[in-house]
Structure formats: structure tokens, C-alpha cells
Homo-oligomer: A and B are copies of this chain.
């Protein structure tokens, strides 16, 4: 692959650019972004080699679509319309059902690979791009059988070069499970941040009392609303299910405290402690 086009030069797109360039300095990375400042920043930071437009996509060996998921489902068909028969097009969004539905039946469906690298930070934009972000991270691929065999091979080689572990999953399973292990965490974090900010609005010094535990639980509340609003919209049904269960569990815990049933409070926490073993290997 010589010519790689990244549409959306933010945290994920930018980090992919950096890693690909590091692995093969001969590739040329082109950036496309509706935010001209981001493109300039990406150029300055050597995240991309040059700016480009959709008209250039016909020259692409690989197109990476790394934009918010509501924009992705609109742009993907435009991109597929423009690329050559040998171009691999992949998205990296946090929801997979809708984009797989949108491309279904497209004449260039076999040029598309639906991917979700489970990597990132709470920051965004080209400045947030990090070299080595994908090392040892999981990359979930959906409907791999619908991608042309030769392009599958190219994609897998790329993911291997970047140090990722591959998991295959259907888009519906991806969206329900990711609601639990990612989307819910963002909501819990945002609402925790809101609850504390609302309470402590007039007491600025109070945050002096916050320690690393608080920082850890509200870290995701720094995330980009531009990226997360469309995720919650596209994955509405699954997100509502997880959120309802979370609220029920919190309500139960609240009632146990209210009823002075601290033996049960102890057990609730003890039974959840084995998250330790589950978390081994993450981070």
C-alpha cells in the first residue's frame, strides 16, 4: 500500500497515520477533514504528509474513515462510489450495525471492512494522536466474509504490523456488548462529573479533596460530545438497556444503605471484587 487517505485526522485517524508511517516510511499519508485547522495541525505534527480531497480518492490503496458515526454512515457510500476496485476502505467507529446496514448491497461492498479498534484516550483532535496507540489492543472486525479476500489479507497484515489482536463478531453482538463495556462507562462518568460539579459549583476549593480515585472514575467525562452523541443515538436500544440495568443496581444499593442492610452492601461489593481478575490484561 502506497497511498493512504485518512478521512478525519483526529485521535484515531491520526494515531493510525503515525503508526502506519512508522512501520513503512515509504507510504504517503493524505488527510481529508472538514475542519481546516485540524488538517493544518495534522500537517505540522507530521500526522499526515499532505492534504487531499474526495476527488483524489480514486488514487487510494487504503481509505480509513475515522469520523463521528453519524457522519460515517453518510460518507461511506460516497467514498465507496469514488474508490477504485482495488481500494480497501475501512471505518473505525464505535457502532457497527448501522454502517454494515448502509453498505449492504452497495456495488463496492467487497471493498469495505468494518473495524473497531478498542483504543483511544479521552482526548480528541490531531494533537491527541499517539504513536503506538494500537499496540496489544483488540480490534473487532464485523462481517469479514463480506470483504474481498485479497483486501481482507491486506487489512490483517496492517493490523498485525500495528500490533493488534483481532476478534471477529457480528455487528449486532458487537453493539450490545460494546454498550456494556464502553458506552455505559462514558455515561456513568459524565453523570458522575455532572453530579459533583452541580453540587460543588460554589465551592471551588472542594476539588482539592478529590484524589486519584475520583479522577479515574470521571476521566471519560472529558470525552468529545461531538463523537459520543451520535454513538448513543445509533446504539440507542442497547445503551438504554445497559443504562436501565445500571440504574436498577444503583437503586438497589441505595435502598440497602437506606435500610441499614450493610451485610448485603458488603456482599454486593465482595461479589464485584473479582473484576480484578477480569481487568487483568486490560490497560
Contacts and interface: CB of A to CB of B under 8 A. Distances in A.
A229 B184 contact: no
A233 B226 CA distance: 40
24 contacts: A167-B205, A167-B208, A167-B209, A177-B206, A180-B199, A181-B209, A185-B192, A187-B253, A190-B268, A197-B274, A198-B245, A199-B245, A207-B278, A210-B278, A211-B282, A216-B216, A216-B217, A216-B220, A218-B279, A221-B272, A225-B269, A228-B269, A232-B262, A247-B250
A35 interface: no
A80 B226 CA distance: 57
A215 interface: yes
Contacts of A140: 209
Contacts of A211: 118-120, 137-138, 181-182, 282
A273 B217 contact: no
Contact of A273 (B196, B214, B222, B249): B222
B243 A253 contact: yes
Interface of A: 118-122, 137-138, 140, 165, 167, 174, 177-178, 180-182, 184-200, 203, 205-223, 225-226, 228-230, 232-233, 236, 239-240, 242-247, 249-251, 253-254, 257-258, 260, 262, 265-276, 278-279, 282-283
Contacts of A198: 245, 249
For the residues of A in contact with B, the DSSP-based class is helix
Q: Chain copies in the assembly?
A: 2
Contact of A182 (B185, B213, B254, B278): B213
B232 A194 contact: no
B181 A272 contact: no
A216 B221 CA distance: 12
A209 B271 contact: no
**Which has the most chain B C-beta neighbours within 10 Å: A137, A189, A190, A191?**
A191
Contact of A282 (B185, B212, B220): B212
Nearest to A271: B194
A233 B262 contact: yes
A202 to B, nearest CB: 12
A282 B191 contact: no
A192 B190 CA distance: 13
A138 B209 contact: yes
B254 A247 contact: yes
A226 B229 CA distance: 39
Contacts of A228: 269
Contact of A196 (B181, B190, B223, B283): B181
B214 A185 contact: yes
